[in-house]
């Protein structure tokens, strides 16, 4: 079946195409009775406005964009993005907005996508994720005038509205718990060093250890994958003085790290305590279940979506601070070996 057009509606209603256009766009020029009849016929035929024509007329695209600079396989294995997107969709669906998603392999390609989407009026705004400490995308988006919400700490988001949570507070709470158990050698398997939230976590970990009188912690930066998480865990555990507690920057690496402990014949938590960042089903189906820093990720995505839609509507939107990830103890943490 061909897509119904304004001409089809005009023939059924016995009016001109101009009258149909007036009625469907709620403009004066037709009676209330005719307007209602035309809209009823349009609904019966399943007519929808042409997005390209709407763009040419200056109307909103009714879509927002998300570009992720990671392999496409990331979405299949990392629960964070799926939960974050589910939160975004919970808000967009109520407003009849669509989410355009694209995976890229570089910041340059990411900026090309933003320029194309904005130039072709495909989106009304975008989410900027994986914020870097000195991020060239921020100034580029500011120059475009593209409504944007940056997911990351305000100190790296420039003039863009920031949606963030205090990762430093999460680190401090976790380290204090481990210290209370008696741990003195704490290490971390971290994400990429150039990410803004990684830098916040690095600084907070050093400060928390200094507060407790512990030596400067060892931090190994990775790409968030299970392979790199396992490799980093192996490196830390075969050292002359291995740590008694390991903190991982995501759940995938924490599960991979748990496999390495089994490979080396270590008992968790008797020989080594493990903590994952961002609770997910993965952290609870392994044995022992992993202690984790937990937050409501769908609520985080929903807050970002509400902020972006407010920006698109022309409102002034302040930075949005979500609840920080709180430590949840489970079977993978206990007092260190004597």
> In the prediction, which pLDDT does 29 show?
83
Condensed to tens digits (0 to 9), the pLDDT of residues 221-266 reads 999 999 999 999 999 999 999 999 999 999 999 999 999 999 999 9
The span from the CA of 234 to the CA of 223, in Å, is 16
CA distances from 67 to 10, 151, 171 (A): 41, 12, 28
CA–CA distances in Å: residue 175 to residues 95, 131, 326, 336: 42, 25, 12, 14
Q: Is the pLDDT of residue 58 over 60?
A: no
The residue whose two tokens read 């919400």 is: 149
pLDDT per position as a tens digit, 122-169: 899 999 999 999 899 999 999 989 999 999 999 999 999 999 999 999
Q: Is the pLDDT of residue 193 over 50?
A: yes
- Pairwise CA distance, residues 23 & 10, whole Å: 11
DSSP secondary structure string, 131-173? -BTT-HHHHHHHHHT--EEEES-GGGSTTSEEEE--HHHHHHH
CA 87 to chain centre: 9
pLDDT computed for residue 138 by the predictor: 96
- Above 50 in pLDDT, residue 295? yes
Q: In terms of DSSP H, where are the helices of 269-320?
A: 281-285, 297-312
Residue 56 confidence (pLDDT)? 46
Q: How confident is the model at residue 183 (pLDDT cuts 50, 70, 90)?
A: very high
Q: Which of 165, 167, 221, 217 is nearest to 191 (CA)?
A: 221
DSSP 226-247: HHHHHHHHHHHHTSSS--SEEE
Q: Calculate the average pLDDT of the chain.
A: 92
Q: Where are the beta strands (DSSP E) in the chain?
A: 63-68, 98-103, 125-128, 148-151, 161-164, 186-190, 218-221, 245-248, 273-277, 291-294, 320-321, 326-328
Q: List the beta bridge partners of residue 126.
A: 65, 148
Over pLDDT 70: what percentage of the chain? 95
Contacts of 310 (CB under 8 A, 6+ apart): 317
Question: In the predicted model, what is the mean pLDDT of residues 96-100?
Answer: 94
User: What confidence score (pLDDT) does residue 228 get?
Assistant: 95
Quote the CA–CA distance of 89 and 96 in Å, as a whole number.
10
Prediction pTM value: 0.82
∠ CA 310-153-138, rounded to 5°: 70
Q: What percent of the chain has a predicted confidence (pLDDT) above 90?
A: 76
Of the candidate ranges 179-183, 222-226, 307-311, the one whose mean pLDDT is the lowest: 222-226
CB–CB of 225/255 below 8 Å?
no
Q: What is the pLDDT of residue 52?
A: 53
What pLDDT, on the 0 to 100 scale, is given for residue 1?
45
Higher pLDDT, 198 or 82: 198
pLDDT band per the 50, 70, 90 thresholds, residue 41 = very high
- Show the tokens assigned to 57: 């007329």
The side-by-side arrangement of strands in the sheet containing 98-103 is: 98-103, 63-68, 125-128, 148-151, 161-164, 320-321
pLDDT (average), residues 15-25:
88
pLDDT in tens, 69-84: 877 666 667 788 889 9
């Amino acid at each position: 079946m061909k897509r119904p057009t304004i001409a089809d509606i005009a023939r059924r209603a016995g009016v001109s195409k101009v009258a149909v256009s007036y009625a469907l766009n709620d403009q004066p020029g037709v009676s209330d009775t005719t307007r209602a009849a035309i809209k009823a016929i349009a609904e019966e035929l399943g007519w929808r406005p042409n997005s390209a024509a709407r763009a040419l007329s200056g109307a909103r695209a009714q879509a927002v964009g998300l570009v992720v600079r990671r392999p496409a396989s990331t979405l299949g294995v990392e629960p964070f993005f799926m939960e974050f997107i589910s939160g975004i969709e919970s808000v967009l669906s109520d407003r009849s907005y669509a989410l355009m998603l694209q995976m890229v392999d570089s910041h340059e390609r990411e900026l090309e996508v933003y320029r194309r989407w904005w130039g072709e009026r495909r989106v009304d705004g975008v989410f900027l994720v994986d914020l870097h400490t000195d991020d060239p995308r921020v100034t580029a988006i500011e120059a475009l005038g593209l409504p944007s919400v940056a997911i990351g700490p305000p100190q790296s988001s420039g003039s863009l509205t920031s949606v963030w949570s205090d990762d430093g507070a999460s680190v401090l709470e976790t380290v204090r718990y481990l210290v209370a158990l008696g741990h003195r050698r704490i290490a971390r398997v971290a994400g990429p060093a150039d990410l803004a939230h990684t830098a916040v976590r690095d600084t907070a970990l050093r400060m928390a250890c200094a507060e407790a009188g512990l030596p400067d912690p060892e931090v190994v930066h990775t790409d968030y994958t299970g392979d790199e998480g396992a490799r980093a865990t192996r490196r830390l555990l075969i050292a002359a003085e291995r740590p008694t507690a390991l903190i991982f920057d995501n759940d995938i690496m924490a599960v991979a790290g748990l496999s390495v402990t089994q490979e080396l014949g270590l008992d968790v938590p008797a020989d080594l305590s493990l903590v994952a960042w961002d609770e997910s089903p993965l952290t609870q189906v392994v044995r022992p279940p992993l202690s984790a820093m937990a937050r409501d990720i769908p609520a985080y995505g929903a807050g970002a979506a509400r902020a972006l839609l407010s920006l698109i509507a022309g409102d002034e939107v302040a930075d949005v601070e979500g609840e920080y990830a709180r430590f949840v103890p489970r079977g993978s943490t206990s007092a260190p070996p004597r």
